[in-house]
Copies of this chain bind each other. A is one copy, B any other.
Amino acid sequence: MFSIGDLSRRTGVKVPTIRYYEQMGLLEAAERSEGNQRRFGKRELERLAFIRHARDLGLTIESIRELIDLSGHAEKPCADADRIAKEQLASVRDRIAQLKRLEKELERIALCCTGETVGDCHVIRALSNHALCATDH
């Protein structure tokens, strides 16, 4: 049995975050020691590692909750799990595309200042006027 600190060290998830996940229903309410401290087993360790990994991949708590619910039903079709992963991929791709547009504009804005004072700073002027931008962002 692990204490919450042991679990934290083994998974890299901070102690208050573990408690938060319990509160959010991602982890079941843990067993307790005589003195009311949480005690976890291998199963909980694995589930927390799953949560950690999914969070690292950017999935929301809500998606993770769905995936955990699903994984309790090994015989069901996995279409929902696949859908969640694909949606996450699509959302990551959207964010990349958006950030790339930003990157382009910021390059134009940030790397071209030849001014010396605020009065003729390219950065300030470019920020003041979106019409100078090459794209909508």
| Chain copies in complex | 2
Chain B residue numbers with a CB within 8 Å of A120 are: 78
Interface size class of chain A, counting residues whose CB lies under 8 Å from the partner chain = 35 or more
Q: Identify which of A17-25, A26-34, A53-61 touches chain B.
A: A53-61
Q: Across the interface, name the chain B residue whose C-beta is closest to A64.
A: B127
User: Are B56 and A85 in contact, CB atoms less than 8 angstroms apart?
Assistant: no
* B-contact 0/1 string along A85-98, CB 8 Å cutoff: 11011001101100
Give Cα distance in the complex from A100 to B99, angstroms: 11
Chain B residue numbers with a CB within 8 Å of A99 are: 92, 95-96, 99
Give Cα distance in the complex from A103 to B95, angstroms: 10
Known: A74-B117, A82-B123, A96-B99. 17 other contacts (CB 8 A): A49-B128, A53-B127, A53-B129, A56-B137, A57-B105, A57-B106, A74-B118, A78-B113, A78-B117, A78-B123, A81-B113, A81-B123, A88-B106, A89-B110, A92-B102, A92-B106, A96-B96
